[in-house]
Chains A and B, each alone.
Chain A
Amino acid sequence: MEGFSTAGYLDMELLRFTTAGSVDDGKSTLIGRLLYDSKSIFDDQYDAIKASSEKRGEEYVNLAHLTDGLRAEREQGITIDVAYRYFATPKRKFIIADTPGHIQYTRNMVTGASTANLAIILVDARNGVVEQTCRHAIIASLLRIPHVVVCVNKMDLAGFEQEVFERIRKDFEAFSAQTEIRDVRFIPISALLGDNVVDASKNMDWYSGPTLLSLLESIPIRTDLNLEDARFPVQYVIRPQSNEHHDYRGYAGRIVGGHFQAGDEVKVLPSGQTSRIRSVDFGGEALEEAFAPMSVTLTLEDDVDISRGDMIVGANETPTVSQEVEIMVCWLNERPLVINGKYAVKHTTRDVRCIVKEVQYKLNINTMERVTDDKSVNMNDIACITLRLTKPLVFDSYQSNRSTGSLILIDEGTYNTVGAGMIL
């Protein structure tokens, strides 16, 4: 396979993207097409879906079956959960978070979107921008997915007409202008026939932009992370207690913003103590510098009291330290949110408890309207709420840092993860 030279592959970047859509949008067909045309489907996988299609009496090999992992999903022809798919080209490795698109699966879309650099939104060329399209755009906006690609699918069923594509583009732009989506691109495709997915369409001369795959391969993603504000949530304290490393005390964690190197002045929050970085270690060796999203171990010049849940930041930086936070929450559980209820909170590496003080409004996720007359927050609802915490959190707004600005709520009886919060 040309291009998979050993050296070349070692140099690839990783792009995580999410696809939201329903069975009818051709989402599974699109993913199947990406995997198939980029030669990421193996013979035994192809044979398995072929047998599976035949067993169901389908006329053609249904590429959609590639993405249906669980038995119930194959039987019912639906996607229940988030499924992760992998493929690589000589330029990039891709992780797809494949999620169902119906409103009752908002929580799955939010889950898939939480780690994505890019969202693919599918629009059926025959139907145009519909309620579901707006919902997907709003979720991409709320979860701050940096790039959105609108694939206008089933162009073959719309006569490959440019006007159809342009009208959908205008409609979507009119809507997305009201959201936080900053980078949006449009591609006319036919997932079924393969037009503009991997290979350029022969049926749409009027489109001169990239195919979906070449866009995925080339869109700049490095700047998606916050590379300015140094943030290091302490995960684990390493103390070898061996003769060789008798006095070693290292703070293990993953850099979630900015950059650290030996000599940097730092501050430990929430205590506010200051020190200087002695070394940035990795795997037992010292690095010259480290940046997000690297996992490293920091040692400091001074003997400071630091434990899991503390955050090391640049000396001049000012993340918020507070016992009250306002968040947009996506509710994930059948049991509705309880106002004045108590929940466990996980934020970076810190565990605290909280009480829900107030529901300010719910969001209509098809229109972005704020709903204030009904404050019941049920599964798949998105709402703005205020939490009062037992101990302070060190945080940034989700807008400026997706790691230090996100948290989950956990039911203290069942230990289920019941809420996903983005700090405002």
Chain B
Amino acid sequence: MTLTKSPTLTHLRELESESIYVLREVAAQFERPALLFSGGKDSIVLSYLARKAFAPAKIPFPLLHIDTGHNFPETIAYRDWWVERIGANLLVRYVQDSIDRGRVVEERGFNASRNVLQTVTLLDAIEELKLDAAIGGGRRDEEKARAKERFFSHRDDFGQWDPKNQRPELWNLFNGKKHIGEHFRVFPISNWTEMDVWQYLYQEGVELPSLYFTHQREILNRDGVFLAKSDYIPMKPTETTQEMQVRFRTIGDITCTGAVLSPASTMEEIIQEVAASRVTERGTRADDKRSEAAMEDRKKEGYF
């Protein structure tokens, strides 16, 4: 069994291999996993990897979308197209239902967002569907609290994360053992950066939502964050919108996803832009600007 040539693996192939390994561990170690799908590029990569991991069989777990109701219409259209394309099974749970049932109270004011409310809908869905693992597209490079996240992240029976008491994770040995009522969050693309995600999507020729590419849009500039004009975002009397040439670096709830000024219309141009960028992608997210430990606090409560 001698080698004909010296084999090398590019970093993208190595990351791909690692993530597929993690996804297969989830399928092997858990009874009822689900893959959290938002329609953003990270969850697109994740579901694309899941399809590769189990081909030619179907992905052995459903995709789960926690829908705030405050979506870009493009996201929902893409979601339905993508799910069909990869032959996955999609479940949707709505924040509106949690509000109607009195589980959560809608935020008020100009910066009101349903982003935080998603946590309750997610935890309710985990309980209702009896999920024991929720697979997410979180990456350690996104934010400092995520830098210490495990691949297999244990949650207690309240769905909470205890960052100071995490299970050690060594080599590629993932411990998914748990007591009744507890569950895991699993992050197969932990080691990817924003750049890796873009490069991989480009390399694989994956078609993405139009929101990621440049387009004309009515924009509201609020405290330096460029928000899309939307019925879900109440405007202050002094605020106005203007037509701008923008694209989105992340896609989340419309009320807290900021656009960037950009002429990038192809994957190559986006990659060049990411390489030259001087602000992290989360710098365009209003939800992380609430305080220095905003992400850590939301994660402890059970956020994605």
Interface positions of A (Cβ within 8 A of B): 1, 4, 6, 9-14, 42-45, 48, 52, 68-72, 74, 80-86, 88, 92-93, 95, 107-108, 110-111, 114-115, 222, 227, 230, 235-236, 238-242, 244-245, 248, 252-254, 258-259, 264, 281-284, 289, 291, 293-295, 297, 308, 314, 332, 344, 346-347, 349, 402-403, 406-408, 410, 415-417, 420
Contacts and interface: CB of A to CB of B under 8 A. Distances in A.
Contacts of B130: none
B280 interface: yes
B279 A43 contact: yes
A11 B10 contact: yes
A415 to B, nearest CB: 4
A173 to B, nearest CB: 29
Tell me the dominant secondary structure on chain A's binding face: mixed
B222 interface: no
Given A14-B15, A110-B170, A115-B171, A84 B140 contact: yes
Contacts of A264: 1
B196 A252 contact: no
Given A10-B199, A344-B177, A84 B1 contact: no
A293 B1 CA distance: 17
Contacts of A6: 199, 202, 268, 271-272
Given A6-B202, A13-B11, A44-B280, A282 B168 contact: no
A1 B276 contact: yes
Contacts of B171: 114-115, 402-403, 406, 408
B101 to A, nearest CB: 33
Contact of B175 (A84, A289, A410): A410
B1 A295 contact: no
A69 B280 CA distance: 16
B89 to A, nearest CB: 14
B261 interface: no
Contact of A410 (B1, B24, B177, B280): B177
Given A11-B10, A86-B193, A332-B168, A48 B292 contact: yes
B272 A254 contact: no
Contacts of A80: 164
B191 A235 contact: no
Contacts of B56: 238, 240, 242, 244-245, 248, 284
A55 B277 CA distance: 27
Contacts of B14: 14, 293
Interface in B3-32: 3-4, 6-18, 20-21, 24-25, 27-28
Which of A6, A80, A88, A402: most chain B CB closer than 10 A? A6
B11 A12 contact: yes
B8 A222 contact: yes
A240 B57 contact: yes
Given A86-B140, A346-B173, 9 more contacts: A6-B271, A9-B195, A42-B279, A44-B283, A70-B164, A115-B171, A252-B54, A293-B9, A406-B171
A45 B280 contact: yes
Interface string B258-279: 0000000000100110011111
Interface string B273-304: 00111111011000000001100100000000
B139 to A, nearest CB: 9
